[in-house]
């Protein structure tokens, strides 16, 4: 048994997805021989309640100058982060000398709002290519991995921050004790840490197992987040469910005693008890649900193939890497995956090696069925794909269950 990444308790895996490649490692056939695989294994820690991966991929293999995920590909997410930033500006900035730090700032989808409002800010984004896009928008960005040492450097050069932000990045960082210690040093006495990530409660309730891949070292709950930051003199003062990325949770955290604690924290923790998030049996049930979902999806795809139907994937998401590799979806079942991100186009999907084509390939010759890998953007996609439906096209969804519509 491996030690828990947070509290060192020996933990037992509840599931292995088998060998998996780098979720965002879109590649060319020449690169197949060097493709990196690792075993994707998940475990629940009964002591600190953290659900986590037990085998980790080196961060430099995932986040580098060819990182394939550009945040601004989703219009709806840009609107979401605009509201997030406006909330921070309204509630948490010291008018005398405001300073905002964001980790995982990517192409500047959040910080562009602070830059436009001339608020002093700093983005910390190790993936050099996406960081460069942000700089092009006038956003101050440093390409480094955030940790405690780096926090000290920021304080020395820029002073402490009113707000420390992170979206879909905290769960990526295995050395969270160093991150939390750094945040404690970096925050002003009344400063706040606000971060959001896919929520464990949604994963369990929706069987959204495709949230599990190399980049996501942790699957947070209010219980596990409270335990972790509590060890660093920080406390969760508010939690706010978010209707993005298939169900996320935003955590607001401050120095212990610095700000009042909202009733939402205890309420959500009670919901987590009811949902069984703190009990190991829940994760055995999750594994059985995942296995059933895989069998149903594969039965459907094989049946459509027998009928000679064309099936195309919609959105070469990082999540789709878990779906294709765990379920065994090959290019004979899914002809190609359409995606709007130029860096992914013309390449092949990690592990399963399904071709990734530009959106035009989908639009110019509609398939019979579109397998919605980007299900977390369903609202945005359905709103613009009426023509596909009008042409007789049907959607295959697999979260929370396999469904054709
Ligand atoms: N916040 C954006 C991007 C999320 S993707 C959004 O929500 O859309 C995660 C990002 O975190 C990647 O761009 C990756 O390069 C970055 N990242 C990974 N580890 C990090 C670390 N230790 N410090 C800062 N950023 C990190
Ligand atoms: P994400 O789920 O990690 O945010 O990734 C979404 C992927 O889906 C990204 O590669 C862009 C792609 N995409 C499309 O191809 N079309 C769309 O309409 C949307 C919203 C995303
Ligand atoms: Zn633990």
Residue 262: partners with Cβ closer than 8 Å, 6 or more residues away: 237, 238, 239
Q: Identify the nearest ligand to the CA of 5 by its number.
A: 3
Q: Atom of ligand 1 at shortest distance to CA of 146?
A: 23
Q: What residues are in contact with ligand 1 under a 6 Å CB criterion?
A: 59, 63, 67, 69, 71, 103-104, 106, 109, 124-127, 130, 145-146, 167-169, 172-173
User: Residue 36's CB: how many other CB atoms inside 10 A?
Assistant: 14
Atom of ligand 2 nearest to the CA of 380: 20
Q: How far is the CA of 255 from the centre of ligand 3 (A)?
A: 22
Q: How confident is the model at residue 142 (pLDDT cuts 50, 70, 90)?
A: very high
Instruction: Compute the average pLDDT of residues 300-324.
Output: 98
pLDDT category at 366 given cuts 50, 70, 90 is very high
Q: Strands 337-338 and 394-397: what pairing?
A: unpaired
* pLDDT tens per residue across span 220-271: 999 999 999 999 999 999 999 999 999 999 999 999 999 999 999 999 999 9
Q: Whose CA is nearest to atom 4 of ligand 1?
A: 168
- Cα–ligand 2 centroid distance for 381 (angstroms): 9
Q: Return mean pLDDT, the chain.
A: 98
All domains of the chain, ordered by start, with CATH?
A: 71-275 (3.40.50.150), 282-404 (3.40.50.720)
Instruction: For 187-207, give the DSSP string.
Output: EEEEEEEEEEEEBHHHHHHHT
pLDDT average, residue stretch 149-159: 98
- Residue 244: what pLDDT? 96
Q: Is the CB of 376 under 6 A from ligand 2?
A: yes
H-helix or E-strand spanning residue 100: strand 99-103
pLDDT one-digit tens code per residue, 77-99: 999 999 999 999 999 999 999 99
Contact 110, 87 (CB under 8 A): no
Is ligand 2 within 6 A of the CB of residue 381? Answer: yes
Q: Give every CB contact of residue 67 below 8 A, 6+ residues apart in sequence.
A: 24, 127, 129, 130
Across 110-120, average pLDDT: 98
Q: Mind listing the pLDDT tens digit for each residue in 100-112?
A: 999 999 999 999 9
CB 232 within 8 Å of CB 175 = no
């Amino acid at each position: 048994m491996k030690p828990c990444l947070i509290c060192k308790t020996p933990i037992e895996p509840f599931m292995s997805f088998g060998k998996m490649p780098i979720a965002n490692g879109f590649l060319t056939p020449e690169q197949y021989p060097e493709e990196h695989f690792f075993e994707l294994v998940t475990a629940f820690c009964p002591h600190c309640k953290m659900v986590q991966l037990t085998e980790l991929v080196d961060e430099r293999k995932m986040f580098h100058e060819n990182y394939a995920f550009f945040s601004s590909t989703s219009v709806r997410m840009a609107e979401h982060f605009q509201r997030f930033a406006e909330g921070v500006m309204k509630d948490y900035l010291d008018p005398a000398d405001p300073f905002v730090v964001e980790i995982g700032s990517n192409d500047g989808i959040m910080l562009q709002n602070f830059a436009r409002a001339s608020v002093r800010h700093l983005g910390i984004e190790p993936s050099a290519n996406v960081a460069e896009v942000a700089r092009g928008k006038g956003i101050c960005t440093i390409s480094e991995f955030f940790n405690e040492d780096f926090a000290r450097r920021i304080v020395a050069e820029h002073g402490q921050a009113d707000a420390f932000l992170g979206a879909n990045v905290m769960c990526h960082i295995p050395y969270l004790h160093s991150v939390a210690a750094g945040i404690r040093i970096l925050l002003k006495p009344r400063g706040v840490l606000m971060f959001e990530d896919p929520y464990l409660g949604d994963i369990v309730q929706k069987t959204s197992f495709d949230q599990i891949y190399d980049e996501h070292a942790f699957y947070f709950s209010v219980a596990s987040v409270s335990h972790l930051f509590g060890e660093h003199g920080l406390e969760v003062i508010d939690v706010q469910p978010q209707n993005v990325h298939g169900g996320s949770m935003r955590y607001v955290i401050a120095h212990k005693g610095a700000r009042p604690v909202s009733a939402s924290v205890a309420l959500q923790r009670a919901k987590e008890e009811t949902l069984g998030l703190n009990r190991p049996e829940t994760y055995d049930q999750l594994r059985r649900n995942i296995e059933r979902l895989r069998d149903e999806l594969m039965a459907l795809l094989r049946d459509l193939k027998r009928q000679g139907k064309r099936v195309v994937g919609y959105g070469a998401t990082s999540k789709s890497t878990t779906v294709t590799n765990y379920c065994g979806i090959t290019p004979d079942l899914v002809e190609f995956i359409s995606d709007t991100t130029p860096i992914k186009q013309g390449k092949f999907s990690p592990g399963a090696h399904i071709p990734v084509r530009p959106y035009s390939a989908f639009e110019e010759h509609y398939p019979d069925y579109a397998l919605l890998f980007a299900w977390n953007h369903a609202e945005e996609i359905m709103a613009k794909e009426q023509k596909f439906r009008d042409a007789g096209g049907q959607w295959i969804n697999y979260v929370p269950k396999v469904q054709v519509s």
